Chain A
Amino acid sequence: GAGVSQSPRYKVAKRGQDVALRCDPISGHVSLFWYQQALGQGPEFLTYFQNEAQLDKSGLPSDRFFAERPEGSVSTLKIQRTQQEDSAVYLCASSLLAGSSTDTQYFGPGTRLTVL
């Protein structure tokens, strides 16, 4: 496909379960971002990859959150021992370049996570 895809689109987890969210960026895009969007709020930055290197993970809320991009393409965001406050839409975005202030980020449709 031409755009950023994410799977699953919806995920319901019981409190304490581990979840894994997948992002397929646009082919050839160097930069990949994860954001968390709570209901009624704007997206908040979680982490940034340049190819396979995780250059910034300052937005990850706790050590239960872990992200990887081992081959510099597909990325996975893993949340361990989910809590109700983790319920949100998780957005992935990719951009062609690295370190550019004018490069466009292309967003996926997001994964809506609900923790019961």
Chain B
Amino acid sequence: KQEVTQIPAALSVPEGENLVLNCSFTDSAIYNLQWFRQDPGKGLTSLLLIQSSQREQTSGRLNASLDKSSGRSTLYIAASQPGDSATYLCAVTLNTGFQKLVFGTGTRLLVSP
């Protein structure tokens, strides 16, 4: 059974710091890996999607890497801002014929002004 783990569970940093969120998964047979953002009382927003054949994706201040063989992904946030405060979730897509997502427990990020 695929299991996804995220470390740390919570992180508090001052504005401007660069930070790294970690995700690990137990089964390397995945279609892709996604990073989502979840704000309180709101749904999830997809930030980055890395296909299994790719090693990284970038969007603005965000960079996500994927090492499928070791079952690891990292989300790098550069020059953090208070607006980045949210819960970040990692999810892998299983080989089921449709996009069945298995989520980690998330990292709750607080960026202080």
Contacts and interface: CB of A to CB of B under 8 A. Distances in A.
Interface residues of A, number: 30
B4 to A, nearest CB: 7
Contacts, number: 63
Contacts of A106: 43
Given A31-B98, A45-B100, A107 B43 contact: yes
Interface stretch (B14-22, B59-67, B77-85, B89-97): B89-97
Contacts of A109: 41-43
A103 interface: yes
Contact of A105 (B41, B51, B101, B104): B101
Given A101-B51, A102-B49, A43 B99 contact: no
Interface of B: 4, 31-32, 41-46, 49, 51, 89, 91, 93, 96-106
Given A56-B98, A99-B97, A101-B51, 18 more contacts: A4-B43, A31-B98, A42-B89, A42-B91, A43-B89, A43-B101, A44-B103, A91-B43, A93-B44, A95-B99, A102-B32, A102-B51, A103-B99, A104-B49, A105-B46, A109-B41, A109-B42, A110-B43
